Amino acid sequence: RPRCIDAAAGVLSVDRETETLRISNDSRGTCIAGICHLSLTMASHWEEFYTTHLPPTDFEDNRILLKEFCDRHNKTGQRIVLITSGGTTVPLEHNTVRFVDNFSAGTRGAASAEYFLEHSYAVIFMHRLKSLEPFTRHFSGQKFMDMLELLDQGPNTTITVKPDSVDVLAPVLASYKNAQEGGRILYVTFTTVADYFWLLRAACECLAVFETKAVLFLAAAVSDFYVPSNEMPTHKIQSGAGAPTIQLQLVPKLLAPLVNLWVPHAFIVSFKLETDESILIVKARDSLNKYKHKLVIGNMLQTRRQKVVFVTKDSSYEVVLKREEILNGMEIEDPIVSNVIASHSEFLKTHQY
């Protein structure tokens, strides 16, 4: 960017961890003209990932949908959030029979989408195919069928909602219709980690126009390990050949290009999932220091529905549901989203262009 080139009288340094270049005006690495990041000429891990993994078959269709959605909402000066939700898979064969999966039902993402809509944000809901979705998540399994009554079987068949289910269905249906009719939610899906990579970059390219008005709420559970495409067998691994040895490699971290190159002005929130409480805050803070985004929300697998910890550059605080709140059906995504929006509003006060 020209702003960076003007500053090029300083020192150029390569940050190998985030795969970016930094231009500083002194040897301590203090930045001039903001932090300037340029792509390395040498292909980085994440760039290599895109060259070795083909886009999903529905990629172009999704790109068009994303562009249309973003352009429409950007015209109205609307705030927007990209929510990623659900786990990514790592196929073990090109014609995939087996795959490694990441834990996530999609509850966090689907519930949060509803709360962001309530706060008038436009929502891109980028989720794992068949994971939970906003609104319908309330009636998964047989719940929906159990709410209906089949009155007359024959030519005059009527289906009605049971009287005691109306109170449950009506508010959800009203919110759903409101979001749908206002065209305020776009659903796009991924399955594999490669699908996720392609879709996330395309979404960011469309979101960049929102600058500070965009929030990225990265709740999807993304694979850390994968089998590179060129090392994967074409056909189903045969058990007759004995137990296979599968060598997994590290998935490149997309937060680096996302924060530095794709949506450098957006308000970026990532999630950190751990099972050992003693390392949660340390890992969340490491992530913030490394990628320099705005907020990491840490959660433990075992207690994620009751407690999360917000970790920022200079503070950390817990958001916890009380026992009565849980009994009253309150969801932790409600205060999570309220807190994120309050921080986004604060951020907008000081970072509006």
User: Which spans of this chain sit near ligand 9Z3 (rule: CB under 6 A)?
Assistant: 104-108, 218-219, 221-222, 255, 270-273, 299, 304
d(CA 109, CA 133): 8
CB of 83 to ligand 9Z3, least distance (A): 11
- By beta-carbon proximity to ligand 9Z3, the closer residue of 66 and 216 is 216
3-state helix, strand, coil in the chain (%, to 5): 40, 20, 35
CB of 276 to ligand 9Z3, least distance (A): 13
Give the residue among 349, 189, 343, 184 at the shortest CA–CA distance from 268. 343
Q: How far, in Å, are 61, 124, 284, 320 from residue 191 at the CA level?
A: 16, 16, 26, 31
Other CB atoms within 10 Å distance of the CB of residue 52: 11
Q: How far, in Å, are 21, 89, 97, 106 from residue 129 at the CA level?
A: 36, 11, 17, 10
CB of 329 to ligand 9Z3, least distance (A): 16
CB of 190 to ligand 9Z3, least distance (A): 14
CB of 222 to ligand 9Z3, least distance (A): 5
- By beta-carbon proximity to ligand 9Z3, the closer residue of 193 and 227 is 193
- By beta-carbon proximity to ligand 9Z3, the closer residue of 273 and 311 is 273
- By beta-carbon proximity to ligand 9Z3, the closer residue of 62 and 131 is 131
Half-sphere exposure of 75 (CA within 13 A, CB side): 5
- By beta-carbon proximity to ligand 9Z3, the closer residue of 20 and 223 is 223
Q: Give residue 209's Cα distance to chain centre.
A: 18
- By beta-carbon proximity to ligand 9Z3, the closer residue of 32 and 218 is 218
Element (H, E) at 81: strand 80-85
Give the residue among 340, 337, 331 at the shortest CA–CA distance from 311. 340
d(CA 258, CA 126): 16
CB of 70 to ligand 9Z3, least distance (A): 22
